[in-house]
Amino acid sequence: MVQSLNTKVDLVIKGNSHLGLTDYGQIMVGDKGFEFYDDRNVRNYIQIPWAEVDTVVVSVMFKGRWIPRYALKTKKNGMYAFSSKDPKRVLRAIRKYVKPDKIVRSLTFFQVLKRAFKGKNQDNYLK
């Protein structure tokens, strides 16, 4: 069995990890970090300490009525995407340990398209 990072657990909820194929399991938010444990494979787990979390990126739809998924961007290892039964409860629990200015909305579909067509140095081409 895997040893947990947390000494005090704030929230345990059913959730999914979207790292490659979708894994179903339990999401645990505690005083030392964010953890995901797979239901089927005991050796498949993700532990992210709060000191390693850079930002939390939240996908928001319908003006905040629906949050399909959220991702934790770490300082070294990239993005880890998750979804859960009640994402607002999870984000409220995360907000205790991550500064609120580090919790950001993801880009919308149209913002991504606009960014792709606009380009980085378009001003240089116009002159």
What pLDDT score was predicted for residue 111?
Answer: 82
Domain membership of residue 14 as a residue range: 7-116
Measured in whole angstroms, how far is the alpha carbon of residue 74 from the centre of its chain?
A: 10
Does residue 88 lie within any of the structural domains? yes
Does residue 16 lie within any of the structural domains? yes
Number of folded domains that form the chain: 1
Average pLDDT for the chain: 86
CA distances from 64 to 4, 25, 50, 80, 110 (A): 32, 25, 25, 21, 17
Instruction: Say whether pLDDT at 39 is over 60.
Output: yes
User: What is the model's pTM?
Assistant: 0.80
Domain CATH number, residue 93: 2.30.29.30
Does residue 99 lie within any of the structural domains? yes
> Which residue shows structure tokens 């959220």?
70
Does residue 123 lie within any of the structural domains? no
Does residue 19 lie within any of the structural domains? yes
pLDDT digits (tens, 9 = 90+) for 95-124: 999 998 988 888 877 888 888 888 655 544
Does residue 60 lie within any of the structural domains? yes
Does residue 93 lie within any of the structural domains? yes
What pLDDT score was predicted for residue 121?
Answer: 56
Does residue 80 lie within any of the structural domains? yes
